[in-house]
Structure 1
């Protein structure tokens, strides 16, 4: 379904501030942006940037010190009942009631929103999230990954037009990630608006129409994903090695275990980098040369520079 800009935004943040300790600690510092209906929006930032605080304000779990937040046109403070009903939130933490089965949990969650006779949709959720064979299992019997699937089902059980996913794939297996994203992508195509926070930037790059980046409670970048990627013209060298890198290359490299990623501005710098590695006797395996990705853009912006 195409993104709607004619209707009121699905989510609207207007000059949202959140302070603690009598104003000494600013968790959110004037956050302003809208998410139109039907958009798949990514909210990125390092730990402590304010992402979860912003979502807590959106969900009514915290109250903004200043500013206004609306969901489908409903103010989250003045019209909180309608705002809550329009929202489905998948939290980071595993929160569950140990006394009920999976199906009972979803029926109870339906009741919170006044939804009756919801078994057809519950069955669809169980099937699409790989929980059909766990429908009658007690929540205490489930693994962490299965509990997270139930959290997703709980957030969707009342068919909210706006879905908020706060680190939904943290610590879960590849199968759940694939299952979850296929289902959420389908709901997005059907018109649901999705707000995602994640530290898996490849997920954001693949899924999100637009991305906002938070740093110290402020939005420091906000654009279409393609435009953010176009802001860097760097070439990325990726290779594996067990040897120490020359100091000048190490200073601009990102190293994860044996995997090294080094940016280069043009073909001449690529040749210079490879020549320096050969000269220092650094063995290189599985060399790849490609474009910089969203992770590179993110790190550059978080450093305070402009890619």
Structure 2
């Protein structure tokens, strides 16, 4: 028990994975802490699913080490995986079993027998209770996605791996799933998330890692990455035309309209003043802060150079 308490829920060290001559993962290192959502973000083919596959031991790493609460997933896979709930990217079809049967079977894999009350509570939280006697083949795509999450949670895991959990689902379901993720985080569950929805990642993830061609290009606190790597856009309409401004923050100057790009570390009016504009001349102002998508695009572009 002490071993588990003294180690992070998930620790990936110098992980590399080859498929023949193709290197899918290249010296990747990161940790996920209790009550933290860590986002692994990258384009298709970046290596996200390969990393998750090695964590859940579907694949063997070519090099490196993965520990779950201090347990090596290669040397002690049963103990390590007992802590983990996994929602894969592809929906797994169980055909002729109903929801309750699937939850019963899956919890049994981990040596856990859920009571009827526990099962019903889990299904109610995921809006599956009224469908609990339906066979999987009768479920909609959104309900199948909810069922996969229920399966992942039926043994009360301390770590949850979410590989594109909202791919192809409608907006309402996406919001309810993210609310559920926040609830799990507040309970201390460590969550590793991959998603293409960067706006959601910015709202959910405490930290993110940008992945490209199997390498992590940038890793850090989400808010710090946005602040460090993006700019705020300031659109001004003045009460007069100004002489041409000689300032690198000025993106365009046309008549009495001026567009600035200012570091996120600067305040709006501070940026306007430093660009050489008297605040008293402002008739209208619009501001758009940089976001995680801006930071992501910048890092991906720099990574290609």
Normalised to the residue count of structure 2, the TM-score between the two structures is 0.81
String of CA shifts for 1:189-232, please: whole Å, max 9, x gaps. 11111110000001110011100111111110000001001113
Cross-structure match for 2:297: 299
Asked whether the equivalents of residues 212 and 300 of structure 2 are also in contact (C-alpha less than 8 Å), the reply is: yes
Cross-structure match for 1:241: none
**2:183 is equivalent to residue 201 of structure 1:** no
Cross-structure match for 2:13: 14
SS in 2 for 1:93: coil
- Partner Cα separation in structure 2 for residue 288 and residue 305 of structure 1: 31
Asked whether the equivalents of residues 107 and 118 of structure 1 are also in contact (C-alpha less than 8 Å), the reply is: no
**2:62 is equivalent to residue 62 of structure 1:** no
- Partner Cα separation in structure 2 for residue 65 and residue 271 of structure 1: 54
Cross-structure match for 1:220: 217
- Partner Cα separation in structure 2 for residue 123 and residue 19 of structure 1: 43
Q: Can you give the 5+ residue segments of structure 2 that lack an aligned partner in the other structure?
A: 236-247, 260-284
Deviating above 3 A after TM superposition, structure 1's stretches of 4 or more consecutive aligned residues are 270-277
String of CA shifts for 1:100-123, please: whole Å, max 9, x gaps. 111111111111111113332321
* Inter-CA distance 237–106: structure 2 relative to 1 (3 Å threshold): farther
Asked whether the equivalents of residues 8 and 36 of structure 1 are also in contact (C-alpha less than 8 Å), the reply is: no
* Inter-CA distance 130–237: structure 2 relative to 1 (3 Å threshold): farther
Q: Can you give the 5+ residue segments of structure 1 that lack an aligned partner in the other structure?
A: 1-5, 239-264, 278-286
Q: CA deviation at 1:74?
A: 1.1
RMSD between aligned alpha carbons?
A: 2.4
- Partner Cα separation in structure 2 for residue 273 and residue 32 of structure 1: 51
Question: For this pair of structures, how many residues does the alignment match?
Answer: 264
Asked which structure has the greater CA Rg, the reply is: 2
- Partner Cα separation in structure 2 for residue 43 and residue 117 of structure 1: 32
- Partner Cα separation in structure 1 for residue 28 and residue 56 of structure 2: 16
- Partner Cα separation in structure 1 for residue 142 and residue 257 of structure 2: 46
SS in 2 for 1:97: coil
Asked whether the equivalents of residues 25 and 215 of structure 2 are also in contact (C-alpha less than 8 Å), the reply is: yes
- Partner Cα separation in structure 2 for residue 150 and residue 270 of structure 1: 52
- Partner Cα separation in structure 1 for residue 33 and residue 94 of structure 2: 34
**2:251 is equivalent to residue 269 of structure 1:** yes
Cross-structure match for 2:25: 28
SS in 1 for 2:302: coil
SS in 1 for 2:34: coil
* Inter-CA distance 48–288: structure 2 relative to 1 (3 Å threshold): farther
* Inter-CA distance 269–150: structure 2 relative to 1 (3 Å threshold): same
SS in 2 for 1:108: helix
Indicate which of 231, 234, 243 corresponds to 2:231. 234
Indicate which of 45, 48, 51 corresponds to 2:48. 51
SS in 2 for 1:163: strand
- Partner Cα separation in structure 1 for residue 165 and residue 129 of structure 2: 20
